[in-house]
Structure 1
Amino acid sequence: MKTVSGKLLPFPLALLLGACATPGASGHEPSGAGNPAWLAGARVVELSHPLTPEMPLFPGGTPLGVKVQGTVEHDGYYIRHFTIGEHSGTHVDAPAHFAPGAATVDQIPPETLMGPAAVVDVTAQAAQNPDYVVSPADIEAWEREHGPLQPQHLVLIRTGWAARWPDEKRYRNADAAGVLHFPGLSVATSQLLRQRKVRAVGIDTLSVDPGTNATFEEHRDFLAGGGYHMENLADLSMLPPVGAFLVVAPLSVKDGSGAPARVFAFLPSKE
């Protein structure tokens, strides 16, 4: 996981400061949020994988294609042309991905592309069972310890699956019949998160639905409620259950069903 210490990224600072001042999961302000100036020395953790032609893809996905169009030596400048699928690499699923007429990626309200992170850790369960399905009980256990989820939350599911990236065979974990095996969320969990009105759900696997689910019930439920997904997140181990603030930056592709994204977590400095 890559970190950029003591450096703020280009982003509307006033919006970020205001959002950081909202109460945290337990009804209290997250560490440092009472003094928004903590962002001036914040640690910034990148939660997105670099886009490469070799990165793992969901079956049928479009890989990154790159062609050099100009070089400094020959043309006086370096420039390339690239093609990529909307759902390749670390990316955002817009509501329109499974809900006709819903918001496309360019229509996701900017204020919902940021917010406090609620990190639900199921690495132990996923290590024992690659088909582990995150249940409402997992979410409720988090809430008992950290307080009720709030509408401003972005819920991140840490399964530990990012450790398999970029080995596509291990990351897909397909069996002899081609069925994928990796953790995901149940529809009941999606329904609970929609009841909490959280902004987004992110996960460190190929899909928020479990790999064995070929009908995408979680996608159909959660995206129809107006939230969005983050998939193929990088290692989440540096994030605490509460206290991190996320900024999600998908490409603003007009009418897009989704788009590759960079995702950043802001953490109070340890100093």
Structure 2
Amino acid sequence: MTIIRSLAEGLAAGSVKVIDLTNTLSSSTPTLRLPEPFANLIDFSLEEVSAYNEPGPFWKHHNIHTGEHIGTHIDAPVHWASGREGKDVSQIEPERLIGPAVVVDVVAEVEKNPDFLLEIEHITAWEAEHGPLPENGWLLLRTGWDKYSDDQEAFLNADENGSHTPGISAECAKWLAEETPISGYGVETVGIDQGNAAMLEPAFPAHYYLLGSDKYGITSLQNLDKLPPTGALLVVSPLPIVGGTGSPARVYALLEG
């Protein structure tokens, strides 16, 4: 039996499960809010063109209005200054968008400190138990933040001192980008950097190092609690927008059992 046939039969029989890791996309989906003087993307909205009426008697359809980095989305290298000579979202090879997923669980740490930063030692401790990070794989950081995915205020968790959401240290971002074989890094928060990552050196290090090294980010993931530390296959499906710096994406995990 071929691998593809085996997969198809497993999906049909239910022995291969599909876990949807994507947040729903609507006008109420929580989005990033940059402070002045920086400009923000527009939120997602639908514009009705017809609805079984005179403009279209047998059909209903809409225009979509949205920013590239809204909801569950992918960051392409050209999104960041360090990757400006790199790929746009249409140029990312499909083979780089499918790969093994590993889940590093730091929920307990984040419950104590919403400004938690993932460090190299957290990953090396994980590797000591589960094995090395996989070639062409995705490191998914489970923080429990998806519980806020329908609440703009809680999702950004901002006060006068900034946005308090977990992320990754500059040292760890550089190490992931330059010393590991992964294709990308995924989070449950609004962006791949910590909420107050402008204060790190360099600012927004996950963006700076990963996108500058032809690696990709995915954000606003859901249901990471349904995945084991290893053993899932991730499928990231963005729109191939020519010149696009990113795209809303449907993200799935395939899991045996």
CA distance in 2, matches of 1:38, 1:68: 39
Matched, 1:128 2:116: no
Indicate the SS of the match to 2:159: coil
Matched, 1:237 2:225: yes
**Structure 2 counterpart of 1:163, from 147, 150, 154:** 147
Gaps of 5+ in 2: 34-39
Matched, 1:186 2:166: no
Q: CA contact under 8 A between 1:204 and 1:235: conserved in structure 2? A: no
Shift of residue 113, structure 1, vs aligned partner: 0.4
CA distance in 2, matches of 1:152, 1:222: 14
CA distance in 2, matches of 1:111, 1:260: 18
Q: CA contact under 8 A between 2:74 and 2:218: conserved in structure 1? A: yes
**Structure 2 counterpart of 1:84, from 55, 66, 72:** 66
Identity %: 36
Q: 2:205 aligns to what?
A: 217
CA distance in 2, matches of 1:262, 1:119: 18
**RMSD of aligned Cα (Å):** 1.5
Q: 2:36 aligns to what?
A: none
Shift of residue 234, structure 1, vs aligned partner: 1.3
Gaps of 5+ in 1: 1-13, 19-34
- What amino acid does structure 1 have at the position aligned with 2:210? F
Shift of residue 192, structure 1, vs aligned partner: 2.2
Indicate the SS of the match to 1:82: strand
CA distance in 2, matches of 1:39, 1:71: 35
- What amino acid does structure 1 have at the position aligned with 2:147? A
Q: CA contact under 8 A between 1:163 and 1:235: conserved in structure 2? A: no
Matches within 5 A, 1:47-62: 47-59=21-33, 60-62=40-42
Shift of residue 73, structure 1, vs aligned partner: 4.5
Matched, 1:111 2:91: no
Matches within 5 A, 1:239-254: 239-254=227-242
Give the number of equivalent residue pairs.
237
User: Residues 239-265 of structure 1, C-alpha deviation per residue, up to 9 Å, x if partnerless?
Assistant: 000111110001111110000000001
TM-score by length of 2: 0.88
**Farther off after superposition, 134-143 or 69-78:** 69-78
Q: CA contact under 8 A between 2:142 and 2:188: conserved in structure 1? A: yes
Indicate the SS of the match to 2:163: coil
Q: 1:199 aligns to what?
A: 183
Shift of residue 65, structure 1, vs aligned partner: 1.9
Q: 2:44 aligns to what?
A: 64
User: Residues 12-68 of structure 1, C-alpha deviation per residue, up to 9 Å, x if partnerless?
Assistant: xx8xx47xxxxxxxxxxxxxxxx7554443111100111110111111232012111
Q: Pick the structure with more strand per residue.
A: 2
Q: CA contact under 8 A between 2:115 and 2:166: conserved in structure 1? A: yes
